[in-house]
């Protein structure tokens, strides 16, 4: 039996943001709302997922803050607008954890700091019944680092070791429909 067939509301869903919920801008940072564009059918996917999981948590690296490209307040404002749009469309995000620091920081993916913080805030999280959904190898490596399931959502085949991926879908909507 596939782990997808075992998913019930007791599972926790960890979502990357850029490239999963919103369009990733190669070489750029989504600095403000005017640059933010939801991935195709992401809002519909989040509505479906809200009915499948008790906890949906975003975990995102945001080193644009450390680089001085944007402030934490800018990011918080962007997230407030994003959350409002998700809620208007009957979706839900329970928490957002972000790491503004550079590579090597214990909270920066693929390190487990953000998931550890979420587990502290939500002690009922069982990492063996958790899924990390992302579009990059570091997301898949994070899943392995915490013994969660790794779901890759990518339209094109990125250069990711197959051994890191438990399931692959074209996008978040296709994943949501599979449950």
Q: How far is CA 31 from CA 28, 61, 64, 78, 172, in A?
A: 9, 13, 8, 8, 23
What is the spatial distance between Cα 77 and Cα 156, in angstroms, rounded to a whole number? Answer: 31
Among 18, 74, 139, 166, the one annotated catalytic: 18
Q: Is 18 known to be catalytic?
A: yes
What would the two tokens of residue 58 be? 């975003």
Among 16, 74, 135, 166, the one annotated catalytic: 16
Helix-then-strand count for the chain, H and E: 6, 6
Q: Is 16 known to be catalytic?
A: yes
Residue 131: closest CA among 119, 106, 149 = 149
Which residues neighbour 160 within 8 Å (Cβ) at sequence distance 6 or greater?
136, 137, 140, 152
What is the spatial distance between Cα 170 and Cα 9, in angstroms, rounded to a whole number? Answer: 23
Residue with tokens 């329970």: 94
Residues catalogued as catalytic: 16, 18
């Amino acid at each position: 039996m596939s782990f997808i067939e075992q998913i019930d509301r007791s599972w926790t869903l960890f979502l990357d943001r850029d490239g999963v919920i919103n369009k990733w801008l190669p070489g750029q940072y989504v600095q403000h709302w005017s640059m933010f564009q939801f991935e195709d059918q992401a809002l519909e996917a989040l509505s479906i997922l809200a009915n499948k999981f008790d906890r949906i948590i975003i975990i995102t690296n945001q080193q644009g803050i450390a680089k001085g490209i944007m402030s934490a307040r800018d990011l918080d404002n962007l997230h407030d607008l994003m959350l409002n749009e998700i809620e208007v469309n009957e979706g839900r995000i329970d928490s957002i954890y972000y790491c503004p620091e550079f590579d090597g920081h214990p909270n920066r993916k693929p390190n487990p700091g953000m998931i550890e913080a979420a587990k502290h805030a939500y002690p009922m999280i069982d990492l063996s019944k958790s899924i990390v959904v992302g579009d990059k190898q570091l997301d898949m490596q994070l899943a392995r680092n915490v013994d969660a399931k790794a779901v890759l959502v990518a339209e094109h085949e990125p250069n990711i070791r197959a051994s890191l991926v438990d399931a692959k879908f074209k996008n978040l909507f296709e994943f949501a429909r599979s449950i």
